[in-house]
Chain A
């Protein structure tokens, strides 16, 4: 397959050679956020769902690992996983919005619209900005409720 057979034909330059554009960034972010959701997001969801089904003790263990360990002396493992868990959850929130918004962009592109250079650039920037803003708004809402 590609790369395995010797060939004298010129090869496509790699990512770092290209000048980054919003459309290129949104395309790569669509794949990155999708793969993050597919692997990390789906596993987190199944872990949460399994803990919920297994009962109060399993659910408490899940929360103590991912979110907050309520015991007076928190072990080093949970001190780390409590931080990692929140970072992962914020990351998944961003991946969700990024993939949702750029997915909606793809639905528009599927109709044949939005390929003009300026329009394409504008909506690529809108998608990336909206993903970050929606993530920030979500966590501000969550933190406002928690306080």
Chain B
């Protein structure tokens, strides 16, 4: 279990962006953090990874304070501009003891990516696919994905969402952020709604459909039109 307790964060003198955010991500499941743009979804992921300091709050991974069990895929390129995909994969293998070159190679093939391509010259869709390779090829029980579908055409979206119904999901708890849920909602186990720096609603998606007869999208509209 990945547990987030009471995260608080304020930038400068502005209104706090996180006012005590708590939720958890179960192993072997997909949790989706939903919120409008600028609600602090990305900040939560960065805070979990220690990429921004928080004013209060703790993050526990299977009961320990350790980030080495979490992989993070931000929605921007993190490899130096001069690298090719091949260079970047070698780099990962050099630095990460839990890098799995076999998975990387399989996913490269499935996504039809070429090691000779320069990362910054990739199309938006291929950049997103390559980022997912970097995340999934780390043998870590938790994976955070920041807006994995943002700015991607429908066709690529389908190619990408395939991975969430594949065996690469085994042994992985996923936390992803998004503000558009429609095409992927049947993939998600749990949704967490964020507004004004707080968690305002949380549901198991199947339970929501079974008990309330509502889709995540329905609930999302209700929540954000209040």
Physical interaction between A and B = no
On B, residues with C-beta under 8 Å from A are: none
Q: Which residues of A contact B (CB under 8 A)?
A: none
